[in-house]
Chain A
C-alpha cells in the first residue's frame, strides 16, 4: 500500500474572474519510510499541496489516495477520521495548543487518533523522552523555546504511528542547530514507525536528508537531482512531469 498518492491533481482558487489555478496536474506518490522534500518559493503552492494531501482541501480534479483510501467522494467526517488516524503534522511554527502541556498536546493527538488514554499517555511519555523533553513535559508551550516546541510537535506528529507525516517548513523558524536536531528527530521517528514523510521547505540544509527532492513553482511539480545544491526560486525553470517516481 502506498501511503500517499496524488494523481493528476488540480486545485483552483477563487471563482469567476478571480479564479486561479494553484496546482497544475500534480501527480506524486510516496512510499513508507521515504522522505520527500518539496522545495519552492513562497506562494508556489507548497502548503496547498500539503492541504490537498491531508484531505483538508478537496482538489478541483484528480484523485488523492491516503493510507490506501481514496478521498474522492469521502464525507467530511470520513476525511477527518482518516486524517486523525493516518496523518501527522509538523507546522512551520510548532502550533501546539496553547492551553495544553507538552505531554497533553501529544496525548491529545493520540486520543484523536483513537488510541486509549493509557496507550496514548505511555507513548507520549516515551516519545517525549526520546526527543529529550521528559523533564519539560508538564510545561506549557509558552514556557518552551522554539526548538523545544518543535520537538514536541514532532512527537505529536508520530505518536499515533501515522501512514503519512506532512511537515510544512518545519525548520523555518529555528536556528541551524535546532533545525538540524528537529529534522533528524523527525526522520528518525517517522522511519521508526514507517511513515511516508513529505516536507515542504526552502531550507537547502535539508537536502542531504531527502530520498527525493521535488521542486514546485507556480503549482507545477518537477524533480531536483539528489546532491544538487540548487535552491528553487521564482526564476528557476520548471519541466512539469506527471509522475516523479
Chain B
C-alpha cells in the first residue's frame, strides 16, 4: 500500500456490497448463529438442570440397587427397603441419610381438560428439608406434609397452574406451594412431594429409589462410601460426581449426536451462505474491481478489502445472532419457560469464532478468483 492514509478506507467502501445484499448476508449469518446457539443452549440447560439436582451440595453419596444409577431412566421397580436408611445413619462419617423415591406420575390441573395434564418425574423426599429435595426455588417454598408439592416452573406453565392452585395426582388433591428452578430437562420436569405422599401415590410404601447420604464435614466421601459398601455389599454407592455423570450421560445420550449434526449443518450452511454472498459481492463489484485494478490498485489490498468485508459481515451477523439468542432466552424464560435456554460465554465464543472462521474460509474461493479478473474489463463495462 502506498502512502495516503485514506486508501484502505476508500477500498473498503468501494468494495462494500450493496446495502440489501450486505444486510442479507448479515441476516443470514445471524439466523445461523441463532439456530446453533439455541441448540447449544438448550442442550446446556438440560445438562445444567441435571447437574443442579444431582450435584446439590449436601448430597455426597447416592446409594441404590445395582443398575439404578440415575434419576431419568432405569427400573422404577428396583428399589431399596427404606429401613436401610436407619442402618446407614449409624455408619461412621454419615451426617445424615434420607430416602428419595422417583416415579413418573401424571399431574392434572383440577377442573380442566386433557390439555392441562402432564406426566412428570415425581421426586419423593423427606420434606421439607431432607436430602434430595428441590435444588432452587423460583417462588414459594418446599412442601410440608402429604397435601403439598413444589413444581418445576416450566411444568406449572404447561399445566397453567400457579402458586396456591390445587392439582390432582393419582386421585389425590394437592396444593402447589413452590415453583422450582433448574429442574426442567426438556423432555420432562420434576415435581417434589413428601416421600410419604409419593409412596401412597405410587403404591410403594416402605421403598426408596435412593438413599442419599451427607458426609460429616472434613471427611473424605470415598472412605464413607467404602464403609457403606462394606455394610451393604449388594448395593451400589455413587459419589456425587459419579451420580452427576450418570445423569448427564442419560440426558445427553441421543442429544449429543443430534446437536453435533445440527450444529455442524448450521455452521456449514453459514459458511456456504457467506461464501455465496461474498461470491455475489465479488460479481456485484466486478466492474468496480476491474476499474480499481486498471487504475493501479494491487491485488493484495483489494483481496484484503473483500476479506475484511466478508469477516465484517460474519462478525456483525454473529453478534446480532448472539443478541437475538440472549433476547430469546430472556423472553422464553419470562413467558415460555418450557424451553429453557442457557447461554454460556464459552458457547458464544466458540460459535462466533467458528462462524467467523467458516465465513472466512467460505469467502476464500471467490476472493482467490479475483486474481483472474482482467482489468481490461474496465474498457468493456
Contact surface of A with B, Cβ cutoff 8 Å: 47, 50-51, 54, 56-57, 77, 80-81, 83-85, 87, 89, 91-93, 95-100, 104, 107-117, 120, 168
CA distance A107 to B291 in the complex (A): 15
Once A84-B296, A99-B288, A108-B10 are accepted as A-B contacts, the answer to whether A114 and B379 lie under 8 Å apart by CB is no
Q: CB of B378 within 8 A of chain A? A: yes
Q: CB of B13 within 8 A of chain A? A: yes
Check if A111 sits within 8 Å of B4, measured CB to CB.
yes
Q: How far is the CB of A193 from chain B (nearest CB, A)?
A: 17
Q: How far is the CB of B380 from chain A (nearest CB, A)?
A: 8
Contacts of A77 in B (CB 8 A): 298
A-B contact pairs, 29 of them (CB 8 A): A47-B379, A47-B380, A50-B379, A51-B376, A80-B293, A80-B298, A83-B294, A84-B295, A89-B378, A91-B291, A91-B378, A93-B381, A95-B378, A97-B291, A99-B15, A99-B288, A100-B13, A107-B10, A108-B10, A108-B14, A108-B295, A111-B6, A111-B10, A112-B7, A112-B295, A112-B296, A112-B297, A114-B4, A117-B4
Contacts of B297 in A (CB 8 A): 80, 84, 112
Check if A111 sits within 8 Å of B2, measured CB to CB.
yes
Contacts of A54 in B (CB 8 A): 294
Encode B1-41 as 1/0 by CB contact (under 8 A) with A.
01111110010011110000000000000000000000000
Contacts of B378 in A (CB 8 A): 89, 91, 95
Check if B376 sits within 8 Å of A99, measured CB to CB.
no
Check if B6 sits within 8 Å of A117, measured CB to CB.
yes
Check if B288 sits within 8 Å of A97, measured CB to CB.
yes
Contacts of B380 in A (CB 8 A): 47
Encode B281-312 as 1/0 by CB contact (under 8 A) with A.
00000011001111111100000000000000
- Interface size class on chain B is 20 to 34
Check if A100 sits within 8 Å of B291, measured CB to CB.
no
Once A77-B298, A97-B291, A100-B13 are accepted as A-B contacts, the answer to whether A57 and B376 lie under 8 Å apart by CB is yes
Check if B295 sits within 8 Å of A110, measured CB to CB.
no
Contact surface of B with A, Cβ cutoff 8 Å: 2-7, 10, 13-16, 287-288, 291-298, 375-376, 378-381
Check if B376 sits within 8 Å of A108, measured CB to CB.
no
Check if B294 sits within 8 Å of A104, measured CB to CB.
no
Q: How far is the CB of B372 from chain A (nearest CB, A)?
A: 13
- Of A51, A93, A99, the residue contacting B14 (CB under 8 A) is A99
Q: How far is the CB of A11 from chain B (nearest CB, A)?
A: 11
CA distance A97 to B302 in the complex (A): 13
- Of A50, A87, A92, A104, the residue contacting B13 (CB under 8 A) is A104
Closest to B17 in A: A99
CA distance A112 to B14 in the complex (A): 13
Check if A98 sits within 8 Å of B288, measured CB to CB.
yes
Q: How far is the CB of B62 from chain A (nearest CB, A)?
A: 65
Check if A56 sits within 8 Å of B3, measured CB to CB.
no
Contacts of A96 in B (CB 8 A): 291
Q: How far is the CB of A146 from chain B (nearest CB, A)?
A: 14
Contacts of B14 in A (CB 8 A): 97, 99-100, 108
The 5 A-B residue pairs with the shortest CB-CB distance, nearest first, are: A84-B296, A111-B4, A47-B379, A97-B14, A111-B7
Contacts of B7 in A (CB 8 A): 108, 111-112
CA distance A25 to B380 in the complex (A): 24
CA distance A194 to B296 in the complex (A): 21
Q: How far is the CB of B66 from chain A (nearest CB, A)?
A: 71
CA distance A100 to B381 in the complex (A): 18
Check if A95 sits within 8 Å of B376, measured CB to CB.
no
CA distance A168 to B377 in the complex (A): 12
Residue picked from A47, A77, A97, most chain B C-beta under 10 Å:
A97
Check if A100 sits within 8 Å of B376, measured CB to CB.
no
CA distance A142 to B232 in the complex (A): 87
Check if A109 sits within 8 Å of B295, measured CB to CB.
yes
Closest to B15 in A: A99
- Of B10, B294, B298, B375, the residue contacting A100 (CB under 8 A) is B10
Q: A111-B4, A112-B4, A117-B6 are in contact. List 12 more A-B contacts (CB 8 A).
A: A50-B379, A56-B294, A80-B293, A99-B13, A99-B15, A107-B6, A108-B7, A108-B14, A112-B296, A113-B296, A114-B3, A115-B4
Q: How far is the CB of B73 from chain A (nearest CB, A)?
A: 60
CA distance A107 to B6 in the complex (A): 9
Q: How far is the CB of B285 from chain A (nearest CB, A)?
A: 8
Q: How far is the CB of A168 from chain B (nearest CB, A)?
A: 5
Check if B291 sits within 8 Å of A168, measured CB to CB.
no
Closest to B300 in A: A77
Contacts of B16 in A (CB 8 A): 99
CA distance A114 to B298 in the complex (A): 13
Q: How far is the CB of B22 from chain A (nearest CB, A)?
A: 11
Closest to B292 in A: A97
Check if B4 sits within 8 Å of A91, measured CB to CB.
no
Contacts of B15 in A (CB 8 A): 99
- Of A57, A98, A104, A116, the residue contacting B4 (CB under 8 A) is A116
Closest to A110 in B: B4
Contacts of A95 in B (CB 8 A): 287, 291, 378, 381
Closest to A54 in B: B294
Closest to A157 in B: B295
CA distance A145 to B295 in the complex (A): 22
Contacts of B294 in A (CB 8 A): 54, 56, 83, 89
CA distance A111 to B379 in the complex (A): 22
- Of B2, B295, B381, the residue contacting A89 (CB under 8 A) is B295
Contacts of A113 in B (CB 8 A): 2, 296
Closest to A108 in B: B10
Residue picked from B4, B292, B376, most chain A C-beta under 10 Å:
B4
